[in-house]
Structure 1
Amino acid sequence: MPRPDAWRLSPDAYPIREAVQTRYQDLDPNGHLNNVAFAALFETARVLINQSLGGREASPAFGAVVARNEINYLAEGRFPDAVEIATGIGKIGNRSWEMLAAMFQNGLPIATCDTVIVMTTPVGEPIPAPVRERLEALRASPK
């Protein structure tokens, strides 16, 4: 797997940043944050953004699921240091969008996560205009 583009490794490329405390239970036998912990930390940040999109406000039948999730591990994470998860939106399609995230610990990038979210309901309809506007406003981009 090639290293992510350089711009993906800067927290300034993302409009949203969340500090998340690591937990002792996140460690593997070698004392590193394990892969399940990385996935859960990224999930927490992703869910917070998805809730802020207002899909149910735009359409009561609105539903979406994760279609693809890829984590690239760049360095070891450690307890008890918190991580900062920087998140933004990548490509936006007719019924799907890409969430781009990077995890930093002590100022260094330790992982990236690319997730594709697909709208499941209402069937056959595009992303509601208010949701699309919020997605556009949260674009990740090189600075």
Structure 2
Amino acid sequence: MRFTYHCALRWSDLDAYGHVNNARFLTLYEEARVAMMFVGAREAGVTSFEEGIVVSRHEVDYLRPVDYGDPVRIELWIEDLKPSRFTVCYELFDGDLLASRARSVLVPYDLERQRPRRMSEAEQSFLKPWLST
């Protein structure tokens, strides 16, 4: 199962060539991830992600330029789920065209103690339906 997020593009997302800047792709992916893990999780009764998640790795493939226009569609899912980390995969579509693929490794983090933590059972249960098989 995939989580789908529609994200409006902003003028500030564009580079000198009129395309979405490569660094802005990470911002778009972040917006989709926040919608799933904070908004979606909160609706499911899980608020602990808001207490700390850090990115330990990003990997992005740029497949085609994206021009300013209609909102882009981002689909995301969980590729790997372990108690100490998980991997979120993304695909960004411009209309029906796949424009980028990415993945982020995320680590649950205890902001108060400034160290990684284990995921709770509730967090793992929330993520499991998005796990690809």
TM-score (normalizing by structure 1): 0.78
- 2:126 is aligned to 134
- Gap runs ≥5 in structure 2: none
Specify the SS of the correspondent of 1:114. Answer: strand
Unaligned runs of 5+ in 1: 1-13
- Which secondary structure does the structure 1 equivalent of 2:59 belong to? strand
Determine helix, strand or coil for the equivalent of 2:132. Answer: coil
* Higher relative contact order structure (alpha carbons within 8 Å, sequence separation ≥ 6): 1
Q: Count matched residues.
A: 125
> Which runs of structure 2 are paired with 1:99-118 in the superposition (5 Å)?
99-118=88-107
Root-mean-square deviation (Å):
2.1
Identify if the C-alpha distance between structure 1 residues 125 and 115 changes in structure 2 by more than 3 Å, giving closer, same or farther: closer
SS in 2 for 1:65: strand
- Structure 1 residues 76-91: aligned runs within 5 Å: 76-91=65-80
1:39 maps to a residue whose letter is L
Contact 2:48-2:123 within 8 A present in 1 as well: no
Counterpart contact for 1:97–1:116, Cα < 8 Å:
yes
CA change 1:134–1:75 in 2 (3 A) is: same
Identity of aligned residues (%): 24
C-alpha separation in 1, matches of 2:116 and 2:69: 46
- Scaled by the length of structure 2, the TM-score of the pair is 0.83
Cα distance in structure 2, aligned partners of 1:124 and 1:16: 26
- Give the whole-Å Cα distance in 2 for the aligned partners of 1:112 and 1:100: 8
Q: Which runs of 4+ in 1 moved over 4 A?
A: 122-125
Greater share of residues in strand: 2
